[in-house]
Structures are given as structure tokens and as C-alpha cells.
Structure 1
Amino acid sequence: MTAPSSPAPSSLRVALVGCGIIGLNHARAILKHPDLVITALVDAVPAAATALADQLVSEHGADRPAEFASLAGALAGAEIDIVVVCTPSGLHVVLAEEALAAGKHVVIEKPLDVSLPRAREILALSRRAEQDGLIVSVISQHRFDPASRVVAETAHSGGFGRLTSGIASVAWWRSQEYYDSGQWRGTWELDGGGAVMNQGVHTVDLLVWFLGTPVEIDARTALLAHERVEVEDVAVATIRFESGALAVVHATTAAYPGLSVRLQVHGDQGSAIIDDDQLEYFHSAATGATGASDGNRAADVVPASELRGGDRGPEQFVIGHLRQYEDIVDAIREHRAPGVTVADAFLSLAVVRAVYLSATLGRPVLLEDVLDGSLDEIVVTTGVHA
């Protein structure tokens, strides 16, 4: 094990738990932040931590982090301020609990977890942690995209008038090899679901952020294009919101060769369309954005680089995470809540769980019954993991 070099006095020291693809994406974003330094890499497979350490040193010129096979070992053997959890989803909460017990700030990759009972535990713990000055945030980097922020601010301020409907579609393709590449993929226990939980949770989160609190979910799911998978590769759902607005959710990993993620928000005074994180269309009569004949005022409300045709290379995904890390660091420095809290992530997780419950039971499900645990026993008896 190689000891890390001493960071600058103002740096926040990060332990990255889970050294796979998502861990690498986090590491690249963390290395771009001047106030963050990675001091520890944790993975139950030592070769994974070593490979990531080698990559960070050779490709990014980073000081070599220490390597550990467990979070407990890292907490005992390295200087750490923030624990970043990038493991399979079913392990998120137990690791977050361990980090909080050690007095560390915590960042959890989406989703919060795959189990609502465990998620309720971390929700309660995070509220107590806040009283001790600890920050707990869940990755929802698309809330920090310029396009998403403009649409959210307009929706919340009444710029679209009365919100009437929304459409959220994730039309992706994942090969059979993708599901066969890891024993945890496509399982209820560790993946927590399929196209909705794993690929669509960010889009569901944005839809809920834009339109408000859901009331009722009615869904259907299917496994149509893959084998040896416990979960769905196609899902559709309708959601009724407190405001009366109605929305459609569509998520699939069976749309060959893979299309875009598309979000539409409609009101009686305006509409917006986000396609692959970029603002494709924006019109708000309430704010006077009516100058173009087709109503497309996107260029007036976000930078041109964020519009259709902007840079969509791999670097864009790192930038999204970096924006959220900037918020997390500021929250720690300013002793405030982060832009995405555990409560935010818990609500989005509950909506995803409601999709699975509705599909399993063959009837609409009230979100209130999912949030308060009324359906937990039904979850167990139907085989859809809680």
C-alpha cells in the first residue's frame, strides 16, 4: 500500500469507494476541482483499485492514492474528509452509514439505494448528520445542467403558466454482453431494477423536480430483448401530480441502436424540450420569450455551447459531475445544505419503486403508500425486492 502525499491545507480529502467505470468518472471530476484530492481508493477487488490508481497517475498526473480492500481499512489508514460511494446500488446505504459513523461527509452515486427501508434509514441518519455539520448528497448531476436549471426555474416561478403535462423518455440500448459482464447487473438485489432504476432514475428525478410531488403511478414493465435478467428492459408509466399535471415515463434498454434521453414540460403559457441534456426548445409567454416564429428561444436562456450541436464528448459527462462537486464543496465550506439532498433522492427512488410495485400488482399505486412503508410487505411477498 502506497501512502498518499500531503494535500494542500485547504484541500478536502476524498476516499473513493468502488473503482469501476462510475468510480473513474467521479475521479476525473474530483481531480478537476482545485479543493479536492483523492487520498484513498477502496475496492473489494484489489486489482480494480490498483488499475484506477495507475490510470490516475499516468493519465492525469495525480499523486498516487492509498489502496484499500474495505472502507473500514481506509478510514483507519488514510486522511479522509469525504467518502464517495460508487459501488453497486444495493451497497450504497450500508457504506454511507459506515462513513457517517466515522464523522465523514458522504457523496452517494445514484440511486440512493435499491431498498426503501434502507433508504429510510439513511434519510434519518442524514438529518441527524446535518445537525453535526456533515453533508450528505446524492449524485443527480443533471440538476446542475444549464438547461435543467432554466426549465426548473421557469416551471417553479410560473413561467410556463399552469403545468399541464410532461414526457420523459430514455430510449437506450444495452447488449446481452452488458448484462452478462457482471453478476450484479440486472438483479433485484444489487441493481434494484432495470431500465427505470439503473438507466432512467436521473430522468425521473428531473421530471419530479420540474413538475412537483407525484400522487399516483400506474405502470407496466416487460423483459423483451434480453435473457438471464431478473429485471425489466422496457417500462412505461403514467404519473398524476398534486398540481393535476399528468406525465408519461418511458424507459428501455431495448431500443437498438440507442437513442436520446428526452424530457418535455408543458404548461398553458409555455413549453420546453431537453434532449440529451441540451435545451432544444424553450417558449414562455409569461416571461415574454415570443420573438421567434417557431417559439424557440433556447439561445436566449442558456449558453450556445449547451444547445443542440454543442460538445457531447466524454468530457461533458465529467463536467456534469464537476458541477455537482462544486456545489458539494461550497455546501461544506458554507455550512449549508447541498443542492441535492437525501430527501430529494428518496422521493425519486420512491417514484421508481412505485413503478415496479404498480407493474407487479397490475394496478395504480399511491406514492404516499410507498413513502410510508404501507406496501413494504406486499413487496416482499411478490418478489420485488424492497
Structure 2
Amino acid sequence: MKCALIGLGMVSKTYADAIENSESVDLSLVHARSSDSRRAFLDAFPGLGAKEAASVEEIAASDVDFVIVTTPPNAREAIVRKLVAAGKPILMEKPVERTLEAATGLVTLCEEGGVPLGIVLQHRARPVVADLRARLDALGPLHMVEVNIPWWRPQAYYNEPGRGTYERDGGGVMISQAIHTMDLMLSLTGPVAEVNAMTATTAQHSMESEDFVTAGLRFAGGALGSLFATTASFPGRGETITLHCAKGSARLEAGMLEMHRHDGTSEMVGQAVTSGAGADPMAFTSDWHRWVIEDFAAALAEGRPPMVPGRAALEVHRLIAALERAGAEGRTVTVDEV
């Protein structure tokens, strides 16, 4: 299948590597507002054989099978409207938009236009996640969840204009970094019913939004949980999800799965990988993106939903909105009220 790429910022190299290594997807067109950016990207990746598109309209009128959108979230609505009008399926970098309301609007726009929408939340594509899903039922009912995301970003990261602002990004650590782990958690645990939270900006950073959140979670299924996420934990360590069940526990850390059962048996699966936890936010393999892209292409060919449909991605947006409200108002917030 042929795709186009709109948005040639920091993450575009990951998409270029992913598509270059794909046997089922080719990149035909690329677009960014700056012609210099377009030419620099094409010069950096001549093996892709892609061509420059001067406008979104040119991509909308082309014969590409789908479009990948990686622009900052504040630049997406107009792009999505043009692509929906042209009937082009869209695979979009997280987050969907800056707020739950705006994200819901984009998802609804695509649904009403009959245009497939997938969201790149690539942590779901890690092979070790499939290993965990295959073993999870045998551990019995879920009782408790621990999520830790002790990441690091230097101040230079937030010095880029707009980064960590509500106007461009929609927030800080939750919507820009922790969203991956929180989405993966929800796909394993089911929905959260209510939250308590403290959100703040540490003295480590000068930025508009939060770089620190700690929260208590009550899941719809009855389990309890804790969440800690930050970009102020130098030098940055891998994120973990630990599920405590009736018959044992499962701990997921990037590419590794560690299981301990009450019968005394244990198991280690996978291999250690980096996930962008430290100063270099792009220090992770492009394979996860490649698998998401290839799944989206296959979903179009097979007429099925992609790995993370737009509507499904709203669940993590809803959780983030609940945590933001709980932190701002200092009270327990039910997720259904946001």
C-alpha cells in the first residue's frame, strides 16, 4: 500500500525508518509547511523514493491509500477535515488532540465521514505485550495495579517553542509521555472508574504544564491501583506496569515480562529495550511503529478495525482529563463525569 506523511518533526525519522523496513507499505508523498523541511527529509531518506507535496490538498487528491499525520495536535483539525472530505484513511500520532472534547470531535468527524482512523500508541505493538495477554487469564482476577513512569527530559527539551504548553501540546507528562503506558494499562485492565491525583511542576523544569503526577485509581472491575509519572527523574528509567492478581503477579518493563505465581513458579519473557525514557526521546526501535503502520494497512485491506481505533484511544484521553480535574480540584473524580 502507498501512504503519505504529513508532519516532518522529531518523530518523522522513526516513521521513515519504519516504512523503509516495511515490505508492505511504501511512502509516496511527504508534506510539511516548510519547503526546507520537506527537502531536508527527502535528502535524508532517498531510499524511500518519496516525493514532495506542496499542500495537504495535493495529498488529498493523490492516489495514496492512507495518510499518516504527525503534526503537533494543535495543527490537526484542518488537515483531518481535508482528508476526510477526500475519503482518505488516517493514521495519526498520539495524542488525538489537546483535550478530550477536541479529540472526541476529530474521532466523530472521521466516523461520520466513513473514514477509518487509527492512533499510533505503539507500546501495544510490543511482542512481549502479546505474551502477557496470553498468560494473564491464568493469573486469575485482577486485584491491584502499579504503574511507574520515571522518565527524564532536560530543560532544553521544553525550551522548544510550544512544548509542554496547553495551546500546542494539551499538557505535559501525561498527554505527551505517560499516555503510552496509560493506554497500554487500560488495554490490559479495563476502564478506571474514579481517581484521586496530585499534579504539579517540579523545580526541575520551567514549563506551563505538569511534569509530575501521582494518583490513586479505582478500576471498574474493583481493583485498586497507583500511578506515578514524571519527566523529572534523572537519568530516566524504563516504565513499568505491574498487575497483581489472585494467583500471582506480572511485571512488564519495556520489552521484558516477569511473572511470579503463588505456586512458586516464575517466568521471564522478552528482552530489554530502550523506550525513550531518558534525555533522547527518540531512543527506541522503529519496529513498534512499523508494526502499527503495517497493521493499519492490513486492517484497510481486510475491512477490520486497526490496532488502536480512534474511538478506543479516547479512553486514555478520558483518564487524563479525570486526573487533570482531580489534581486541579483536590477531590475524587469519577471518570464518567469528564
Check whether TM > 0.5.
yes
For residues 62 and 296 of structure 1, the distance between their equivalents in structure 2, rounded to whole angstroms, comes to 44
Percentage of identical aligned residues: 28
Residues in 2 aligned to 1:94 and 1:166: alpha-carbon distance in whole angstroms: 39
> Which among 128, 151, 155 is matched to residue 147 of structure 1?
128
Amino acid in the other structure paired with 1:196: M
Q: Is the 8 A contact 1:263 1:273 kept in 2?
A: yes
Q: Over residues 99-144 of structure 1, what are the superposed CA-to-partner deviations in whole Å (9 max), with x where a residue is unaligned?
A: 1221101001011111222212222233334xx4x42100111112
Count of residue pairs the alignment pairs up? 333
Residue 334 of structure 2 is aligned to residue 361 of structure 1:
no
- 1:8-87 aligned at under 5 Å gives the runs 12-57=1-46, 61-68=47-54, 70-76=55-61, 78-87=62-71
Q: How does 1:1-386 map to 2 (within 5 A)?
A: 12-57=1-46, 61-68=47-54, 70-76=55-61, 78-129=62-113, 132=114, 134-155=115-136, 158-180=137-159, 182-279=160-257, 281-283=258-260, 295-299=265-269, 306-308=270-272, 317-370=285-338
Matches of 1:267 and 1:187, distance apart in 2: 38
Unaligned runs of 5+ in 2: 277-281
Note the C-alpha offset of 1:355. Answer: 1.1
What is the CA–CA distance in structure 2 between the aligned matches of 1:307 and 1:25, rounded to whole Å? 21
Unaligned segments of structure 1, at least 5 residues:
1-11, 300-305, 371-386
Between structures 1 and 2, the one with greater helix share: 1
Given the two structures, how large is their TM-score scaled by the length of structure 2? 0.92
**Distance change in 2, residues 1:315/1:257 (3 Å):** closer
TM-score, normalized by length of structure 1?
Answer: 0.81
Deviation readout 1:278-330 (Å, 9 max, x if unpaired): 22x12456xxxx6xx5x32124xxxxxx324x688979521111111221111
The amino acid across from 2:94 in the alignment is K
Greater RCO (CA < 8 Å, at least 6 residues apart): 2
SS at match of 2:166: coil
Structure 1 residue 52: Cα displacement: 0.9
Change (3 A) 1:139 1:19: same
Q: Which amino acid aligns with 1:34?
A: E
Alpha-carbon distance in 2 for matches of 1:202, 1:312 = 10
- Report the AA paired with residue 215 of structure 2: A
Q: Distance in 1 between matches of 2:33 and 2:147?
A: 36
2:51 is matched by which residue type in structure 1? Answer: P
> In the alignment, what sits opposite 1:7?
none
Aligned AA (1:14)? C
Alignment deviations for residues 179-215 of structure 1 (CA, whole Å, 9 cap, x no partner): 11x2110101111111111110000001111111111
Aligned-pair CA distance for 1:37: 1.6
**Structure 2 vs 1, CA of residues 258 and 126 (structure 1 numbering), >3 Å: closer, same or farther?**
same
Displacement of 1:17 in angstroms is 0.9
Residue pair 1:114, 1:192 contacting (<8 A) in 2 also: yes
Indicate the RMSD between aligned Cα atoms, in angstroms.
Answer: 2.1
